[in-house]
Structure 1
């Protein structure tokens, strides 16, 4: 079993990085770190505008030191690089947002996930960053480009989050910072993988999401599945492999009957129905799943980072996995 002092040191490594490297300021102004560890305005580095070609082939003029940035659902990347956006992604009139980032974004206003043109314009952005081409289908790109320079990060959704972070870093001339953030993450993942293997060997795990009385299982190579199986080396249950082979999204619906076949030694349950009674968890089929019967189930709320992806989200997932599997 892991020494608690060593485990806590590893779990706090990214927090130290985010405070010292990214240099988030209370005012939300972009800052960088000088050699003597003092903050200086990013304007000293971003002194001139630049032209970059985005994933769709657009030549985009990136303004010098952009101050009002709309980058909906890319906030994890911005925060990791010490950048505060003008608005943050939300659903249901701001009722749903990325709770795990609120320690950084608690004072940042919300914007609907659909990014209505008039709402985007109301923030007077000087730079708009879109996660994928899907967000600018049809004539949408031209409409956003009339509001502010618009850069599309990737053609398809669900690309490697590491590449996405590096792309965002390039936009803001923070490639070196992005590489340092990734270096710290990889070190943490490697150390955590060793800790988990020392604790449970080659045992398997699965992440299950319960929402509106329906179960979903994460795919093998995306979202928290990429963390569990790729970064942490946990064994992939055969049910997860089978569902992942035909999955079209990060999470795939799975019936209780199929869950009964889940050959996972451990289950990470993201329970969005906790306040609604979570009736499905009372079903005898669920109760008889081996991991549930053996008490190897670890419950997390929907406010945690398990439903998201990015260096901050994934770091928090790693912390949760290590804590759960090394008790």
Structure 2
């Protein structure tokens, strides 16, 4: 199995902490890939924090904070893309974002300023705490997208689309995704009925498991109806983030028929442990590995569509 690990220790702490706080910067690509509406008008909208934000009629220089998936899906090219330590980017979006410069996840004021955005979209309320919202608002209209517990990628897509006046396009994106998910769910029922699956991320001799209702877990268990292993259900009861650490002792209880191994280092000593070697999925050669260029660590219509395609290629023969 060929595995890859592109995340720094700092990036790891951000991912485990829940939502990846992020940001976007700029380069010479200042126009959206979609045509702008010449009849559009400036609007005032209330964001997730209750701020009244004046949205420009046709924003052309958008900075999105870890919202690139939604922007690309809506045919918008941001002027920058999120990074952690100038090392981690969303590789799966690079067919659309190649050459777009990066900006640190924490949106340094001076970096945002130099790109002169005409609209700043922020994915997490925490990003604008401590007076930062007022600072950003001096640069550009700043809109905090719906976020927090209970907010899904569907909610965020719809919110971003409403800001960009693309509600109808968002509905089409969701309809296409649901059609793919429903078709795949039916195919799984015919080809992998009653099979369970777990999603693991192994790094620094530590295993992390995706929660039942978060990230790729929401796709596998919620959208596709795959059986939830007992250990995944147990871990999910107390999970406060997308990924939860699992001890070696608890890992021995994992009874999943299939394991999806994400962005993991094949040289990690964890894979030499007898606990790992004796897992049912490992012994039955039902471990499917995806590297850092995959979308399994992310959320959004593009990320989740890619996850479904990866899963189909793995389980549906």
- Mark yes or no: TM-score above 0.5: yes
1:275-295 deviation line (CA, Å, top 9, x unaligned): xx1221121110001111111
C-alpha distance in 2, partners of 1:76/1:67? 17
CA contact (8 A) 1:219 1:240 kept: yes
When residues 106 and 31 of structure 1 are mapped into structure 2, their CA distance, relative to the original with a 3 A threshold, is closer
**SS of match in other structure, 2:226:** coil
RMSD: 1.5
The answer to whether the aligner puts 1:299 opposite 2:277 as a matched pair is no
CA contact (8 A) 1:213 1:273 kept: no
The answer to whether the aligner puts 1:175 opposite 2:177 as a matched pair is no
Q: Which residue of 1 aligns with 2:101?
A: 109
C-alpha distance in 2, partners of 1:243/1:59? 39
User: Higher helix fraction: Structure 1 or Structure 2?
Assistant: 1
Q: Which residue of 2 aligns with 1:71?
A: 64
Deviation at 1:303, TM superposition (A): 2.2
Q: Select which of 32, 35, 38 maps to 1:30.
A: 32
Q: Which residue of 1 aligns with 2:42?
A: 49
**SS of match in other structure, 1:305:** coil
Alignment of 1:152-191 (within 5 A): 152-156=144-148, 159-191=151-183
Deviation at 1:271, TM superposition (A): 3.4
Q: Which residue of 2 aligns with 1:97?
A: 89
Q: Select which of 280, 283, 287 maps to 1:290.
A: 280
C-alpha distance in 2, partners of 1:149/1:170? 15
Q: Which residue of 2 aligns with 1:266?
A: 258
**SS of match in other structure, 1:42:** coil
C-alpha distance in 2, partners of 1:169/1:200? 36
Show structure 1 runs of 5+ residues with no match.
1-25, 33-40
When residues 43 and 31 of structure 1 are mapped into structure 2, their CA distance, relative to the original with a 3 A threshold, is farther
TM-score (norm 1): 0.86
Q: Which residue of 2 aligns with 1:323?
A: 313
Q: Which residue of 1 aligns with 2:3?
A: none
Q: Which residue of 1 aligns with 2:9?
A: none
C-alpha distance in 1, partners of 2:313/2:149? 31
Q: Which residue of 1 aligns with 2:118?
A: 126
The answer to whether the aligner puts 1:210 opposite 2:202 as a matched pair is yes
Deviation at 1:200, TM superposition (A): 1.1
1:11-69 deviation line (CA, Å, top 9, x unaligned): xxxxxxxxxxxxxxx9663355xxxxxxxx313243x2110111111100001211111
Q: Select which of 71, 75, 82 maps to 1:82.
A: 75
Deviation at 1:158, TM superposition (A): 6.4
Show structure 2 runs of 5+ residues with no match.
1-27
Q: Which residue of 1 aligns with 2:232?
A: 240
Point out the more displaced range, 278-287 or 173-182: 278-287
